[in-house]
Structures are given as structure tokens and as C-alpha cells.
Structure 1
């Protein structure tokens, strides 16, 4: 899908054709759409299709007549029947008169621009538009990171009550997401560092200040990712320790029960041996069976008291 947008007096509207000052928004474009833009803007079609490859890394390339900027933006996906977060490439192509964005999905990074919720937004100020996109990317990263930490907190609150193996799996998925985020944010940081030395297009003083804000927000997202990864590691270790402790307690209780139950088994085994009754205590005593049962019960009770004192029960 490919659409053209332009702002007039900071109000965005859709255009019917390509012209100067237009923002070309391409979402999972077809081969024909890529070829059309490549021919009209004199852009290498491989640069247009670069963002369609999920394995593409963030970078900035200066070409003849245009600049390619590739960054990773956060998005959601369904993983194991649950909503999870991941990153996908977003391609930004800057020419002298037009800006083109290419992505495989309708990313939330660009939605606020389409619905006119970004202040001082103009498709004609292309470099500022790029910085605004990167700023939105960093803030969405931070929002997603807070949601991830909230999910971790919910899992942590269940520790000691209803902890299950699925919680360990969920923690692993959250940790994997943070790994993706950390890798993407560091790569985006390299792109931002190169943009500080970008002199091809005119920059206004406000643009330089905005770029500084983007760098700060991106660095803050990197630090948040590192902190949340450390916290998740601690939570996972705590959960593993709790589960291991529960298993140890179960084994301790089973061992204690086995010891207590072994006493009647040993006594009944001794009295069940085929020997002369003269050598068996209580063999000819009235109510001998009852006495043996009472004695066995007393031995079991004493054993249980000893085990309880040793905190085995």
C-alpha cells in the first residue's frame, strides 16, 4: 500500500499524486509500487526494499541525490497465543523534495503523524520530520518497556502463591524481548550519532535541539532496557529458587512419611516370621495383638514428634 500526504498550515491531508513536499508512506509495498517510486525519484530499488527485510540492520547511507536511513522500530506480534513485542526495520529515504517511509507494517510510530497529533509537524521540513519519527520511536520503546516491567511485576506477585512453569516461560520471553530492544536501540544510537554530523540538508536551530532530545530519549531507553533485564534475571532466579525449595520440602515430607510408615512394616514383618512362638513377645499374652498395635502406634507418634522437632514435618 502506498499513499501520499502533505501538510498545509500544520494540517495533514492526503494527496492524489506525487509532488514536492509530499510524504510517501509505503506499507508492505508491492514490486510495482517499489519500481514506480524508484523510477520517479531516481532511487535504487534495493534501498526502497531494504526495510522489507526483517534481518536488515540499522544504518545510514549517503547516495547520489538521496539519503537512506534504516532504524528499528517496536511493534507487536502474537507469540504462543499472547501479545509480545519485537522490532522491525523502518526505512526513511530523503530526497531534495520528498520523504519516503517504508515498513512492513502499519507501525504506531507513524500513526500519530497521519492523524495529526504531532505538534509542529510539516512534511516540507524533511529533516525535522525524520527527527520527530526517531523521537516517537524512542518514546514508544520506553512505553513498551514499562508495559514489560508491569508484566514482570505481575509474575513476581504470584511467586510463593501460584507460581507455575508457564511463569518461567513468560519471563524468558520478556527477557528475549529486552535483548531485541537492546540490540535495536544500540544500533539506532549509532544512526543518531551519524545524524549529528549530517550536513546534506538544511538544519534549523530547532532541528539540532530536537536531535539532542532524540539522543537523550534513546539513551534513556537503553538504560531502561539494561535495568529491566537485570531485574528480570533476579526475578527468574528467585522463581527458580522458590520452585526448587518447594520440591525440597515435598521430598522432605515424603521422606518423613516413609520413615514413619516403615515402623509398622518392620514390626509386622518381624512378627510374621515363621519361628517358635515361645520366642515371640506377647505371643501367648491375652490381647497380645492389641498390645503390639498400641506399641507400634506409640513408636510412630514418638518418631513423628522427633521429626517435627527436627522440622522434618
Structure 2
């Protein structure tokens, strides 16, 4: 998909062709769309294709008339039955003399927020400012998803108190995997941000430098939150694995105790069911007497086991 936008006095509008000061957004583009952007903006094709590789690492590179920045953006897993499961995909940002290009393999909220005009005060022709706003929105999105992960883990933990299944532990494992993805990606993004701050590959004005500082602060906060939640979740999984095992032991103990109590009447009834002479065989109230004897011994056993907290 190829989208072209440009900020005007009337707001941001969509264009059919690339113009100076326009923003070009590529999402899982075809070969013809890649060739069109590459030829019109004189961008090497490999820079565009690099952002479409899920294994591509975050980096920044200056190549002739363009600056290529690759960062990792968070994406929710739409196939997950329960929310809070995420992974990351590369997001490429290419800055040329007159345009800015964003490239991603999948749609993500980082770019969609700009496409849907949810971000205020951004202009496609202010390339450096726009670039930093993308980075800032990306860091804020990590923080938002981290809070969602924390809420989801809390809901799962509440269900774990009475659970005897592994389903909830598997869900927590999925959340922990999301946190590992986030932590790794955030650290890669941090290296890119520090390089931008240190080497100044992009021309910045004083207000841009302040925004870059804000981006770095938000990214560091996201890293700390990811590490904290990951440690908490890891400890929670270990604790609740023991809880599930203990719950199962309690159930098994209860069932064993019930089986022992019920075996007393069964055993007595078996004795009186033998095809031999037995007490009370001529008594018209034999059934009642045997039933009372069975219940008496069963109650004695049950009370004894209850005192020993075996129920």
C-alpha cells in the first residue's frame, strides 16, 4: 500500500503523486510501489526493502542524500484470543532533502495515529520535527502497551487463585514473551536514539533537541517498566505453578479421604452379601441394622480424618 500526504493551510491532504514536502507511507508495498518511490526520490531500493525484513536490527545510516533510520515498533497480536500479547516489527524512516518516507511490513498504531490525524501539530514538510514526533509516539505506544500487559496479567492472576489448569500459566508465558520482545527492541531503539543525539546526523533546531531528549526519557522509562514487569511476571509464574500443584494436591487429598470413608459401608455390605450364614439373616430389620452400623463406622472415620485436616 502506498499513501502520499502533504500538510497545507487547510490541513493534511492525500495526494496522487509525490511532491516536495510530502510524506510517503509504505505498508507492505509491492515491487511497483517500491520502484516508484525509489526512482522519484532517488532512494536505493535496498533501504526500502530493509524495513520489510522482520529480522532487521534497529540502526541509523547516512547514505548520500538520504538518512535511513530503522526502529522497532510494537504491534498487537490479532490472533491472540486474549489481549496483552504483542510483538515488534521494524519501522523504517527515510529522510531525503525534500521528503520523508515511512516503511513497514504491517500496519501499526505509530503511523496510523498520524494517518488518522490523531497527532496534533505535525507538518510533513518539517521533516526533522515529524521524524522526532514519530519516535516520541513510538515510545509512548510502548508505555501504553506495557500498561495493558500489566492489566491483563492481573486479570489472569485472579483466575489462577482457583485454577487447576495450565491455561492461565501459558497465557502468562505469552505475556512474558511480549515483555522480552519489548525489552530487546527498546534497548535497540535506545542505541539509535543515543547515536542521533551524539552524532547529529540530522539537522536539528533547539526545540528539536528538546523533543529528542523527551523521546530518550520516554524510551528509558519504557525499558525500566518492561524490566520490572518481566521480573514480576517471572516470579508470579513460579509462584502460581506451585499454587496449581498445591490446589491439585488438596483436591486429590479430599478425593482420597472421601474414597476411604465410602469404602467402609461398601466393605460391610460386601460381608453381609456373602452366600453364607451371617448375623441378622433372620431379623426383619437386618437392612436397617446393617445400614446404621455402616454409617456409624463411616462417621467415626470421617470425624477422625476431619480432626487431622484431611478434608
Q: Distance in 2 between matches of 1:91 and 1:264?
A: 76
Normalised to the residue count of structure 2, the TM-score between the two structures is 0.87
Give the aligned partner of residue 7 of structure 1. Answer: 7
Give the aligned partner of residue 96 of structure 1. Answer: 97
Give the aligned partner of residue 234 of structure 1. Answer: 235
Describe the shift of the 1:272–1:157 C-alpha distance in structure 2 as closer, same or farther (beyond 3 A): closer
Q: Distance in 1 between matches of 2:162 and 2:191?
A: 44
Contact 1:182 1:226 in 2 (8 A): yes
Give the aligned partner of residue 122 of structure 2. Answer: 121
Give the aligned partner of residue 295 of structure 2. Answer: 297
The answer to whether structure 1 residue 69 and structure 2 residue 74 are counterparts is no
Give the aligned partner of residue 178 of structure 2. Answer: 177
What is the CA distance between 1:285 and its match in structure 2?
9.4
Q: Distance in 1 between matches of 2:107 and 2:272?
A: 82
Where 2:198 maps in the other structure, the secondary structure is coil
The answer to whether structure 1 residue 197 and structure 2 residue 198 are counterparts is yes
Alignment map for 1:208-227 (pairs within 5 Å): 208-227=209-228
Between stretches 132-141 and 262-271, larger displacement belongs to 262-271
Give the aligned partner of residue 21 of structure 2. Answer: 21
What is the CA distance between 1:262 and its match in structure 2?
3.6
What is the CA distance between 1:293 and its match in structure 2?
5.0
Describe the shift of the 1:10–1:245 C-alpha distance in structure 2 as closer, same or farther (beyond 3 A): farther
Q: Distance in 2 between matches of 1:97 and 1:247?
A: 66
Q: Distance in 2 between matches of 1:122 and 1:80?
A: 36
Describe the shift of the 1:163–1:290 C-alpha distance in structure 2 as closer, same or farther (beyond 3 A): closer
Q: Distance in 1 between matches of 2:72 and 2:271?
A: 76
Q: Which runs of 5+ in 1 are unaligned?
A: none
Aligned residues: 309
Q: Distance in 1 between matches of 2:10 and 2:141?
A: 23
Q: Which of residues 304, 308, 311 is equivalent to 2:309?
A: 311
User: Which deviations, in whole Å up to 9, do the C-alpha atoms of 1:15-61 show, x marking residues without a partner?
Assistant: 34323322111122111121222223222211111111112121112
- CA RMSD, aligned part only? 2.7
Q: Which runs of 5+ in 2 are unaligned?
A: none
Q: Distance in 2 between matches of 1:288 and 1:14?
A: 95
Q: Distance in 2 between matches of 1:297 and 1:120?
A: 82
Contact 1:10 1:122 in 2 (8 A): no
Normalised to the residue count of structure 1, the TM-score between the two structures is 0.87
The answer to whether structure 1 residue 109 and structure 2 residue 107 are counterparts is no
What is the CA distance between 1:67 and its match in structure 2?
1.5
Contact 1:10 1:121 in 2 (8 A): no
What is the CA distance between 1:118 and its match in structure 2?
3.0
Between stretches 290-299 and 120-129, larger displacement belongs to 290-299
What is the CA distance between 1:69 and its match in structure 2?
0.6
